[in-house]
């Protein structure tokens, strides 16, 4: 699911692909924000993916 959301966001030019190398010590929620040229949009996509993942995992 997260791969599909990311693919759609990049192909529709909502976000740009990752262009900067980020430190490995950053939390996963901040990695796309730091490494992208569109940080706010990348954060929105990250939150959407996180919410979708929680909704999928929640029944278990």
pLDDT at res. 20: 86
pLDDT at res. 26: 87
Q: Which two tokens stand for residue 3?
A: 């791969």
Give the integer Cα–Cα distance in Å for 41 and 47.
10
pLDDT at res. 7: 95
Domain span holding position 14:
2-57
Cβ-in-10-Å burial (0-12, 13-18, 19+) of 34 comes to middle
Number of independent structural domains in the chain? 1
pLDDT mean by block of 10 residues, the chain; 60 residues: 93 91 86 88 93 92
Sign of the alpha-carbon dihedral angle for 44, 4, 17, 57: positive
Is 31 in a helix, a strand, or coil?
A: helix
Q: Can you give the C-alpha Rg of the chain in angstroms?
A: 12
pLDDT at res. 42: 92
pLDDT at res. 31: 86
């Amino acid at each position: 699911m997260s791969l599909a959301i990311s693919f759609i966001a990049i192909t529709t030019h909502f976000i740009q692909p990752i262009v900067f190398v980020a430190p490995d010590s950053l939390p996963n929620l901040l990695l796309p924000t730091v490494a992208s040229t569109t940080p706010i949009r990348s954060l929105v996509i990250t939150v959407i993916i996180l919410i979708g993942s929680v909704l999928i995992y929640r029944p278990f």
